[in-house]
């Protein structure tokens, strides 16, 4: 009996709900920490990034306009599907990052828990962050947080590739933002596998767009893009992030500066990408 040949997986980008190869045709090798070949991943270009921003902008109105309850259900569905594929993710993480099977399983479990935690905040964060303001006059004055818009993210680099990606992306989605994220360059496999989960979890196409490749190449264009409203540089600590922040200032982007390691679960990460709208309404004199 002839031995069956394996069918190597081709890791592509995730843009607008589809899985295209880079328009440049470029790829790079994803390897184990000891240098053994794992897979080829797409090396995203500036054009790919522009396409991702267009997709994110196109999806913004629908996602921001969805009910908070609906967004929460969608994020919870992501956790459900990820739970069903947890063995695959643990295997990819163990091979890519060189960690033990137990460590890999723990990372997947923490990523699932993060989706559930942020899903629960979708219909609650407004009550915490919003307010009824005292005013001198016969008016109601209400402050309500709303999404900032398209958020560009550089995921944490160099380890905990799935958990770092989830803890960057999930809080931005809670308020109704859409996302373009540059994945962990050295460990891209979990990012595209997560994109497959998103594609089958009722997340509308374009809400999350995943690019694999070099943050040093992509982050400057993300920072300078006039149609990106906010920037999370959590994984850009090894880059000249002050130059990225200065570039983002030219288009008045809100910026989260780099932070060591993987971010904790936090309401602050949800509110980092919201804007406060204040509404006045006359009180009835009857």
Could you report the average pLDDT of every consecutive run of 10 residues in the chain (286 residues)?
Answer: 76 96 94 93 96 98 97 98 96 95 97 98 90 78 88 93 96 97 96 96 97 96 96 92 94 90 88 88 71
* Count of CB atoms situated within 10 Å of the CB of 134: 6
Domain extents in the chain: 27-282
Look at strands 150-154 and 178-182 and give their pairing.
parallel
Distance (Å, whole) CA 166 – CA 116: 11
Report CA torsion sign: 14, 17, 19, 23. negative
Question: CA-CA distance, 19 to 1, in Å (whole number)?
Answer: 36
Residue 3 has a pLDDT of 80
Inter-residue contact 169 to 153 (CB < 8 Å): yes
CATH architecture of 27-282: 3-Layer(aba) Sandwich (3.40)
15 in helix, strand or coil? strand
Token readout for 112 is 């699932």
Q: Is 68 exposed, middle or buried (0-12, 13-18, 19+ CB in 10 A)?
A: middle
Whole-model pTM above 0.85?
A: yes
Q: Are strands 230-232 and 150-154 parallel, antiparallel or unpaired?
A: parallel
Distance CA 160, CA 199 (A): 22
Query: For the chain, how many helices (H) and strands (E)?
Result: 10, 10
What pLDDT, on the 0 to 100 scale, is given for residue 282? 82
Give the pLDDT confidence score for residue 179 in this predicted structure.
98
The closest of 281, 255, 266, 278 to 125, measured between CA atoms, is 266
Output the pLDDT for position 58.
98
**Residues sharing a CB contact under 8 Å with residue 124, sequence separation 6 or more, in sequence order:** none
CA pair distance 133, 233, nearest whole angstrom? 33
Phi, psi of 3 (to 5 degrees): -70, 140
**Farthest-apart Cα atoms in the chain, separation:** 89
Q: Which residue carries 């990606």 as its tokens?
A: 165
Cβ(194)–Cβ(210) below 8 Å: yes
Q: How high is the pLDDT of residue 141?
A: 76
């Amino acid at each position: 009996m002839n031995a069956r040949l394996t069918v190597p997986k081709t890791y592509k980008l995730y843009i607008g709900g589809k899985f295209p190869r880079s328009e440049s045709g470029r790829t790079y090798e994803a390897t184990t920490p000891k240098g053994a070949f794992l897979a080829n991943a797409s090396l995203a270009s500036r054009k790919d990034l522009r396409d991702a921003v267009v997709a994110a902008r196109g999806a913004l109105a629908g996602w921001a306009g969805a009910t908070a309850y609906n967004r929460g259900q969608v994020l919870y569905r992501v956790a459900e599907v990820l739970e069903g594929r947890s063995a695959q993710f643990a295997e990819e993480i163990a091979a890519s990052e060189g960690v033990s099977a137990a460590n890999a399983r723990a990372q997947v479990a923490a990523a699932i828990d993060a989706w559930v935690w942020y899903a629960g905040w979708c219909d609650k964060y407004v009550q915490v962050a919003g307010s009824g303001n005292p005013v001198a006059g016969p008016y109601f004055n209400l402050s309500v947080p709303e999404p900032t818009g398209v958020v560009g993210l550089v995921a944490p680099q160099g380890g905990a590739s799935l958990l770092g990606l989830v803890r960057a992306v999930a809080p931005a989605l809670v308020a109704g933002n859409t996302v373009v994220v540059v994945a962990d360059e050295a460990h891209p496999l979990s990012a595209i596998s997560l994109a497959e989960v998103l594609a089958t979890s009722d997340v509308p196409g374009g809400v999350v767009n995943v690019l694999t490749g070099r943050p040093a190449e992509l982050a400057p264009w993300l920072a300078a893009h006039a149609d990106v409203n906010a920037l999370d540089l959590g994984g850009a600590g090894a880059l000249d992030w002050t130059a990225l922040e200065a570039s983002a200032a030219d288009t008045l982007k809100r910026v989260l500066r780099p932070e060591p390691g993987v971010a904790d679960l936090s309401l602050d990460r949800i509110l980092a990408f919201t804007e406060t709208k204040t509404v006045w309404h006359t009180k009835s004199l009857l």
